[in-house]
Amino acid sequence: MLKHRVIPCVLLKDWQLVKSIGFESFRNIGHPTSTARIYNARNVDELIVLDIDASLHDEEINTEIITDIADECFMPLTIGGGINTIDDIYKVLNAGADKIAINSKALNNFEFIKQSSSIFGSQCIVCSIDVKNIDGKYKVYNKKYGLQEISPLELALKYQEYGAGEILLTSIDKEGSRNGYDIELIKIFKDKLEIPIILNGGMGKPEDAVAAIQNGADAIAAAYIFHFSQYTPNDIKDICLNNDILVRTI
Amino acid sequence: MSKNLLEQFENYLLENLPQSKSFHPIFEKALQEMLSAGGKRFRPMLLLSIVNAEQSLLLKNAMPVALGLELLHTYSLIHDDLPAMDDADLRRGYPTLHKTYDEVTAILVGDALNTHSFNLIANAPLSAESRIELVKILSSDEIGQMSILINNNIDQVKENIKVDNELIKNKKPFLGVCLGMQLISKKSYENGETTGLGWVDAEVVKFDFVNTDKKLKIPHVGWNNVSFQKNNILFSDIEDNSDFYFVHSYHFTSNEDVINSTTDYGIDFISSVNKDNIFAFQFHPEKSQEVGLKILKNFVDLEYKC
């Protein structure tokens, strides 16, 4: 049977890996290659790295560092940030990534999703959606383009229709908060999508993963818990197993 | 008569070479070069001869169509010579376009000729019905596109025979991963129908849970058990039902006795096959950490004896 995945999701900034709180203050978590090596040794299920320099400051995607990270990864690696053209996808895949996460570019250009998934296959294209809770209503938020009209679920369904293979759903309010995933948010998505959904933002303790998966997440992503708490990915999996959630154990 | 016809065509061609007025220093020259380099002009001559025999009054009106045919043919030659295809250095005794200029120029000239051929036909002094019919025939699968595709596929097939020789005759070990497994089937239904290498009697189909009560997601992404069905030398020292990493929407189906393992995702699908020196996995050994690296090591250690 297919297992639920526990995935570290970290940010790349100034050649360092960082962890953000609410997308704003950044805390250094170490050198990319040594961090990737540790994750690999701990048998994490996947690794997601988002290059925030490339996405926010329109800088060139740092393929050099992606190659270094990929060299350490004998697990699947998803790279996001600054993907604007088909050529960018070629570059990042050639650097060693297995999947590509697209955010800003997809928002205004569903055709780009269609084009990229027809070239590289849906299994390679992850669409990333960031959500903010504004007065009790969930809104799609983009760092470049601000709040959007379309609802998070509608946007995810559009992405699915145009060929996305997975959705990476991040709650900005919960991101870095350590007080658990946005369960109300994931409930909206439960059983609505035909493609897997990775929930990101807020894990502070292993039980949070259980709640997220029970309410509809296919996989969970996190960063804080792996770097600034006593918990390891395996602690999270142990709690999942105790709650009859299938996860991979080594 | 036919010499006269050929002369008429050559003159028409030289007077009507495609033009590209731009600041680009070499594009126009490149665009005209391969056309004026000569050649048999077989296609336009065939057309003009028929017109001459049937409706000689229309000969002049048929000239743009004849030129269109030659342009389309020249385009196919230019692209055919590209490094990604035949990688040819010479054509009609002259250096190929990508040799004289560069690949980008050769690709763009080919594209321009392709488009311009239809422009010529669309503007020919013929009835609207005739022009539409001509465009239809030239662009239809049966005649226009197919003949180009078929010609190129023949080269591809020759290439395949080389690989087949290495694998089937010389028994070189082969390891296919994910799409690399799907390629060795006879046919895949991903985005239409595509012929595979055909080393294994198999087809590749999409997961389909529409008529089942299972609401499983597609693609099948993540770690799943691999249940061994047969002894496979590459599975040695690996525990049965170990988790491997999968990421795919299409899977193998086969009745041939090659199945090495299956995996449960709504159905028990074929997750690896082995036939003589050919090994193929739907999952990613290179992304499955220790157990995956063990498979790769077993493959490298393989001293294949045939």
The nearest CA of chain A is from the CA of B190 a distance in Å of: 9
Q: Is the ipTM of this complex over 0.95?
A: no
What is the per-residue pLDDT for B150?
Answer: 44
Q: If you average pLDDT over residues B65-84, what whole number do you get?
A: 91
Q: If you average pLDDT over residues B269-284, what whole number do you get?
A: 95
| Set of chain B residues whose Cβ sits within 8 Å of the Cβ of A99 | 247
Give the amino acid at A156: A
What is the per-residue pLDDT for B210?
Answer: 84
Q: If you average pLDDT over residues B189-215, what whole number do you get?
A: 88
Burial pattern A63-97, b for ≥16 Cβ within 10 A else e, equals bebbebbbebbbbbbbbbbbbbeeebbebbbebbb
The nearest CA of chain B is from the CA of A148 a distance in Å of: 27
Question: CB–CB of A122 and B249 under 8 A?
Answer: yes
| Set of chain A residues whose Cβ sits within 8 Å of the Cβ of B287 | 73-76, 98
What is the per-residue pLDDT for B27?
Answer: 82
| Set of chain B residues whose Cβ sits within 8 Å of the Cβ of A4 | 222
Q: How far is CA B232 from CA A167, B176, B208, in A?
A: 36, 15, 29
Considering CB atoms only, which of B243, B248, B287 is closest to A76? B287
- Best to test chain B binding among A1, A39, A93, A123 (most B CBs inside 10 Å): A123
Q: Is the pLDDT of residue B146 over 50?
A: no
Closest residue in B to A76 (Cα) is: B287
A4/B166 Cα distance (integer angstroms): 41
- Best to test chain A binding among B179, B181, B182, B247 (most A CBs inside 10 Å): B247
Q: Is the pLDDT of residue B2 over 60?
A: no
What is the per-residue pLDDT for A15?
Answer: 83
Q: B139: exposed, middle or buried (C-beta count within 10 Å: 0-12, 13-18, 19+)?
A: middle
Q: If you average pLDDT over residues B242-253, what whole number do you get?
A: 96
Question: CB–CB of A122 and B265 under 8 A?
Answer: no
Residues of B with CB under 8 A from a CB of A: 179, 190-191, 215-225, 243, 245-249, 264-265, 284, 286-290, 292-293
The overall longest dimension of chain B from CA atoms, in Å, is 81
Q: Is the pLDDT of residue B119 over 90?
A: yes
The nearest CA of chain B is from the CA of A75 a distance in Å of: 4
Q: Which residues of B are catalytic?
A: 178, 284, 286
Q: Is the pLDDT of residue B188 over 90?
A: yes
Considering CB atoms only, which of A1, A74, A196 is closest to B221? A196
Q: Which residues pair with A244 in a beta bridge?
A: none
Please report the DSSP string for chain B in residue order.
Answer: -HHHHHHHHHHHHHHT-----SS-SSHHHHHHHHHHT----HHHHHHHHHHHHH-GGGHHHHHHHHHHHHHHHHHHHHHHTSTTTT--SEETTEE-HHHHS-HHHHHHHHHHHHHHHHHHHHTSSS-HHHHHHHHHHHHSIIIIIHHHHHHHHHHHHHHHHHHHIIIIIS---EEEETHHHHTTSSEE-TTS-EE---SSSEEEEE---TTSS----SSEEEEEE-EE-S--GGGTT--TT-EEEEEESEEEEE-STTEEEEEEESEEEEEEEEETTEEEESS-GGGSHHHHHHHHHHHHH-----
What is the per-residue pLDDT for B145?
Answer: 52
The nearest CA of chain A is from the CA of B263 a distance in Å of: 8
What's the pLDDT tens digit per position in B107-118?
A: 999 999 999 999
Q: Is the pLDDT of residue B34 over 90?
A: no
Report the interhelical angle of A110-120 vs A86-94 (nearest 10°): 40
Q: How far is CA B19 from CA B108, B110, B112, in A?
A: 13, 14, 10
Q: Which two tokens stand for residue A91?
A: 């570059």
Q: Which residues of A are catalytic?
A: 130
Closest residue in A to B296 (Cα) is: A74
Considering CB atoms only, which of B247, B264, B292 is closest to A98? B247
The nearest CA of chain B is from the CA of A98 a distance in Å of: 9
Q: If you average pLDDT over residues B33-53, what whole number do you get?
A: 85
Between B243 and B22, residue with greater pLDDT: B243
Query: Which SS3 state, helix, strand or coil, does residue A142 take?
Result: strand
All residue ranges of chain A with pLDDT < 70 are none
A65/B192 Cα distance (integer angstroms): 37
